[in-house]
């Protein structure tokens, strides 16, 4: 039986162990346009000095959606996440959390808005000198008013959610890659942020652990009601769990598709999107730059 959550979260919808393997059917398609946006990005431009990464980036992330950020390596996915959590100021455009403009705010207002984001970095980025419980305790101390006893209860709760009940006192170095990702996910969601940002959570995992993580992301979304921004190259993951998304083009440095990955796969006639979603390669011919060749 679940112990009562020390944070006011919606109760669990189901246990991880009971997840239907056909997890694609759990993705909440269709409701996106009606739900209020947790995050809205308006005409964002991202640069490093004179180097343009992406421009004309606009999208909304609806409550409880799993929003995919897709594109080739180096197209700007991680840079976008950094601009959303306040680590990189965009060169143009707006980032609005529940309608409030992040970059137009004072440092104190930004600090407040940043508390609404839980981030899982690609490398997991757990503090190696701390146990898993101490890692999870950090955001709880910084972002919540929970007392030590409540924090311990919350740590136990989120470790249970990610299937790591017995790992509270373990050092990150003693965990496998998949367990590190799950521990970092527990840390990202511990303070109950309404928005979770996951940067390539399945990268480096074997297919079984990658699939387990997909199921876990859906389960966490259902338990907490958080919206999820998912940066991923893993087509099976994207098709299984994301119900909305954006595709960044590395060449034109602009988004070239919006919508669910499944719709991108089924409907996009853009050759880059078409090739990416079908694991094909673009024929880099000067005469026929848009021509597509199937991977042998």
Ligand X SMILES: Nc1ncnc2c1ncn2[C@@H]1O[C@H](COP(=O)(O)OP(=O)(O)O)[C@@H](O)[C@H]1O
From residue 266, give the alpha-carbon distance in Å to each of 70, 207, 262, 275, 294: 16, 24, 6, 12, 17
CB 67 within 8 A of CB 61: yes
Residue 76 binding target from ligand X, Mg ion, none, CB below 5 to 8 Å by type: ligand X
CB 70 within 8 A of CB 232: yes
CB 67 within 8 A of CB 57: no
Site for ligand X in 75-114 (CB under 6 A): 75-79
Site for Mg ion in 166-225 (CB under 5 A): none
- How far apart are alpha carbons 67 and 78 in whole angstroms? 14
Non-local CB neighbours of 288 within 8 Å, separated by 6+ positions: none
Confirm or reject binding of residue 181 to ligand X (CB under 6 A): no
Confirm or reject binding of residue 78 to Mg ion (CB under 5 A): yes
Of 16-24, 53-61, 70-78, 217-225, the segment contacting Mg ion by CB under 5 A is: 70-78
Confirm or reject binding of residue 48 to ligand X (CB under 6 A): yes
CB nearer ligand X, residue 161 or residue 276: 276
Of 69-77, 109-117, 129-137, 217-225, the segment contacting ligand X by CB under 6 A is: 69-77
CB atoms within 10 A of CB 15: 12
Residue 207 three-state SS = helix
CB nearer ligand X, residue 74 or residue 148: 74
CB nearer ligand X, residue 54 or residue 268: 54
Residue 243 binding target from Mg ion, ligand X, none, CB below 5 to 8 Å by type: none
CB nearer Mg ion, residue 65 or residue 78: 78
From residue 206, give the alpha-carbon distance in Å to each of 69, 96, 131: 21, 36, 25
Confirm or reject binding of residue 202 to ligand X (CB under 6 A): no
Confirm or reject binding of residue 79 to Mg ion (CB under 5 A): no
CA-wise closest residue to 172 among 161, 151, 187, 157: 187
Site for Mg ion in 5-24 (CB under 5 A): none
List contacts with ligand X (CB under 6 A). Answer: 48, 51, 53, 71, 73-79
């Amino acid at each position: 039986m679940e112990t009562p959550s020390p944070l006011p979260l919606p109760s669990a919808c189901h246990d991880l162990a009971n997840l239907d393997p056909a997890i694609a059917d759990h993705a909440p398609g269709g409701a996106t346009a009606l739900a209020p946006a947790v995050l809205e990005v308006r005409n964002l431009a991202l640069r490093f000095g004179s180097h343009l990464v992406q421009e004309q980036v606009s999208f909304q992330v609806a409550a409880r959606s799993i929003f995919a950020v897709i594109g080739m390596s180096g197209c700007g996915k991680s840079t976008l996440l950094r601009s959303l959590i306040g680590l990189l100021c965009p060169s143009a455009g707006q980032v609005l959390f529940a309608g409030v403009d992040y970059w137009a705010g004072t440092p104190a207002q930004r600090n407040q808005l940043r508390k609404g984001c839980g981030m899982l970095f690609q490398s997991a980025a757990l503090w190696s000198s701390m146990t898993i419980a101490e890692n999870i305790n950090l955001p709880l101390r910084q972002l919540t008013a929970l007392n030590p006893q409540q924090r311990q209860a919350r740590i136990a709760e989120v470790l249970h959610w990610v299937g790591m009940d017995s790992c509270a006192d373990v050092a990150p170095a003693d965990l496998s890659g998949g367990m590190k990702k799950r521990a970092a996910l527990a840390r990202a969601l511990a303070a109950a942020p309404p928005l979770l940002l996951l940067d390539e959570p399945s990268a480096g995992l074997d297919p079984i652990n990658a699939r387990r993580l997909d199921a876990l992301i859906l389960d966490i979304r259902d338990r907490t009601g958080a919206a999820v921004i998912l940066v991923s190259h893993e087509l099976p993951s994207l098709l299984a769990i994301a119900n909305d998304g954006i595709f960044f083009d590395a060449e034109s440095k602009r988004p070239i598709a919006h919508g669910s990955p499944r719709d991108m796969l089924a409907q996009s006639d853009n050759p880059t999107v078409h090739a990416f979603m079908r694991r094909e390669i673009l024929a880099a011919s000067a005469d026929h730059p848009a021509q597509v060749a199937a991977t042998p």
